[in-house]
A = this chain, B = another copy of it.
Amino acid sequence: MTMLDTTTEVLSTRYQKSVADYWNKEQDPVNLRLGEVSGTFHHHYGIGDVDWSVLEGPEGTREERTIREMHRLEGAQADFLLDQLGDLGPADRILDAGSGRGGTSFLANLRFGCQVDGISISEKQVGFANEQVRQRGVADKVAFHFRNMLDNGFPDATFRSIWNNESTMYVDLHKLFAEHARVLTPGGRYVTITGCYNDVHGRQPSRAVSQIDAHYICDIHPRSEYFAAMAANNLLPISVVDLTAATIPYWELRAQSSVATGIEEAFLTAYKEGSFQYLMIAADKV
């Protein structure tokens, strides 16, 4: 059973309320249509080479083929993330911070058999995901909570692994990693896949990055901030992979798809000019 906190306690600033509002209202086909392919709903992007043949063949089913291909790529991203979580088994407990409609959480439970908690500041998403829990019959193992990842309410040293799949750009990283470090067991693993802006390109976000910020009401952090905030919170990197080249094909396909949201050009510009990077960081709790 999930615990439902009150809105007042979960959302402490007006900024957080505006983000929650966005996601409560969000009905983007790019998330819903892709999720319907397999019944696993993601809120993140894809990686890997595109099978461009989906654009060829009968026009009537082109959209369906494209949607299916994009869903395959976002599945590949989630699989790559799960690869970094370390050795996990049914006895372990793990946390999906910013769990959206629950996709990665369900995949994690399937792979490791362990207990998964997901948290989100969108009550709508929490409700949607818990409905999926019911349908999938995994209520003994998977639960979603309406909670703020900066103050997650779990006891100290609860989780063997924690991840943020494209959900760190809404929060202060120092506060986030302090809270994650608190609830990780000693030696526990933290993994994030995230877009970050590239300090090498400039100390300030480029125009394209600010367009993405405005689109999602988020605040994309510089790459340096991730390492600084981890270091300050006893999260020690063990693996870092630059996924920028691997995610560009997904965006090129999406730009040509029926579910494009208009932000695709900003992503492609930002990635290609080098002002933005798609990064996986895995770290150990010391």
Residue positions of A touching B, CB distance < 8 A: 12-16, 18, 170-172, 175, 186-187, 199-207, 210-211, 213-214, 217-219, 223-224, 227-228, 230-231, 236-242, 273-275, 284-286
Contacts and interface: CB of A to CB of B under 8 A. Distances in A.
Contacts of A237: 227, 237, 240
A200 B206 CA distance: 25
B286 A200 contact: yes
A12 B203 CA distance: 11
Given A217-B207, A224-B231, A231-B227, A14 B241 contact: no
A200 B211 CA distance: 23
22 contacts: A12-B186, A14-B201, A14-B202, A15-B204, A15-B206, A18-B202, A172-B204, A199-B284, A204-B218, A205-B219, A206-B217, A210-B211, A210-B217, A213-B213, A214-B214, A223-B236, A224-B231, A224-B286, A227-B231, A227-B237, A237-B240, A239-B242
B12 A200 contact: no
A170 to B, nearest CB: 7
A180 to B, nearest CB: 16
| Majority secondary structure of chain A interface residues (helix, strand, loop or mixed) | mixed
B238 A242 contact: yes
Given A15-B203, A15-B206, A171-B204, 15 more contacts: A13-B202, A14-B274, A15-B275, A18-B207, A172-B203, A186-B200, A200-B286, A204-B219, A205-B219, A207-B217, A210-B211, A210-B217, A224-B231, A224-B236, A227-B237
Contact of A213 (B15, B186, B210): B210
Residue with the highest number of chain B CB atoms closer than 10 Å, among A203, A206, A211, A228: A203
Contacts of A207: 18, 213-214, 217
